[in-house]
Amino acid sequence: MLFSGLKDARGLFLVLSTLTGLIGSFVYPLMSLFLVQQLDSPPIFIGIYTVSVTIAGLIFSQWLGYLADRGVSARKMFMLAVSGMGFALLIYANATSFWQVLAAGIVLLSVGNAAVPQMLTIARQWAEREKNVDIAGFNASLRAAISLAWIVGPPLGFALAASVGFSGSFYLAAICAVVSFLFAYRFIPEVDTCLNRSKAATPNKISASFWMLGLALTLGASGNILYSSSLPLYTIRELGFDNYTPGLFMGLVACLEIPVMLFSSRLSRRISKTKLIGISFICGMFFYTGIFFSTQVWQFIALQFVNALFYGLFAGVGLTLLQEELPERIGFTSAFYSNSIKIGMMIGTTGTGIIGQFLSFRHVSLGAFTTAFMASVCLILYWHLKKSQPQTHIETDEIRG
């Protein structure tokens, strides 16, 4: 074993989470601008790309989650996922048409979409076999590590796109995929999954509250993606901001949301995770309203503090709350959580293309407000469903041992 203590092992997973986050942070914020500006595609093609790649990724990711619950190595499946993402990015860097990007996305990037859920799965599998691990805090740390990557990724990605072209950002993301593969191969331990196989043999029935919570998380994510995918086009093309400003806004909020995520696990010991998610949706509605009426750079910067409260709480406790619903099916819930975010991305990016095509990119923030409101309604329904269910188990995500 390459490490002897709990602290060292925890650090390895945090490094892996950061590396995994870096891959996406160099790519996803640029895609709408890349498709419209570089490939000269109509805005509606943003939706075609996102729906196609997301659906393919959902199927593949959920299948790998199923395999993880039955003992297949999540570590090896993670390496497969980042390999697919790396090859896709090499094609993106040299693509000259929308259809080349679409084909590579469906065939290869869809495989890469499983990287984050498999990383979360193997980390949770390891944590469950250690003593004195605060699962909520550990999950929040993993999410914070991804946000740390997003401090660096978007500003650098937009800077590379402005200076050397979009291929520079895609090549850098491909390098991160290679480093992630090598790091997982060299440093991440295999986890004995015999216990997972015995639990998955007789899984509990998935409750209605689980699906309602998943819907709330999906809608919350779609609002965030509506904002972030429209941000470059709105600020650069409609407001006339400099090309680097979208990366500045994204990097700033990623920096601000990290302490919120880390503090959310402690806060969840005093305030229920459901209430924290509800507070996050309220912050989201306030933020999207502010964006709609903002026209100056300083206003966008000031609103990122509210955005950090929204996404820090949303991402900090959302995964743990979902895993508590099905503690015996970690592979399934990790994939389901990641896929909920991806479905939100599909809805958000498609909505951006449609609203931008027929109205303006400014009006996308009103769509984001609507999804945050709908997410709040779903969360209230989830709370009522939980109250009516018999409690079959105690929460397992507090400090054990």
Residue 384 clears pLDDT 80, i.e. is over it: yes
Delimit the domains of the chain by residue range.
Answer: 8-191+201-388
Indicate if the pLDDT at residue 201 is higher than 50: no
pLDDT at 358 over 80: yes
Which range (135-144, 152-161, 248-257, 363-372) has the least confidence? 135-144
Whether 361 has a pLDDT exceeding 80, the answer reads yes
Give the residue from 273, 349, 397 showing the smallest Cα distance to 34: 349
- In this structure, which long-range contacts are made by residues 166-171, counting pairs with CB atoms below 8 Å and at least 24 apart in sequence? 166/30, 166/34, 166/38, 166/92, 166/93, 167/92, 167/93, 167/94, 169/26, 169/27, 169/30, 170/26, 170/27, 170/89, 170/90, 170/92, 170/93, 171/89, 171/90, 171/93
pLDDT of 178: 95
Exposed/middle/buried for residue 40 (C-beta within 10 Å: 0-12, 13-18, 19+) = exposed
**CATH architecture for segment(s) 8-191+201-388:** Up-down Bundle (1.20)
Q: What is the DSSP letter of 205?
A: P
Q: Is the pLDDT of residue 171 over 80?
A: yes
Mean pLDDT of 59-84: 83
Q: By percentage, how much of the chain surpasses pLDDT 70?
A: 90
Q: Report the pLDDT averaged over residues 4-13.
A: 63
Length of the chain: 401
- Model confidence at 177: pLDDT above 60: yes
Q: Tokens at residue 393, please?
A: 């188990």
pLDDT at 8: 61
Most confident of the ranges 138-152, 258-272, 296-310: 296-310
Give residue 286's Cα distance to chain centre.
Answer: 22
CB 352 within 8 A of CB 32: yes
In the predicted model, is pLDDT for residue 62 greater than 70? yes
pLDDT of 289 > 70? The answer is yes
Task: Work out the number of other CB atoms within 10 angstroms of the CB of residue 292.
Answer: 14
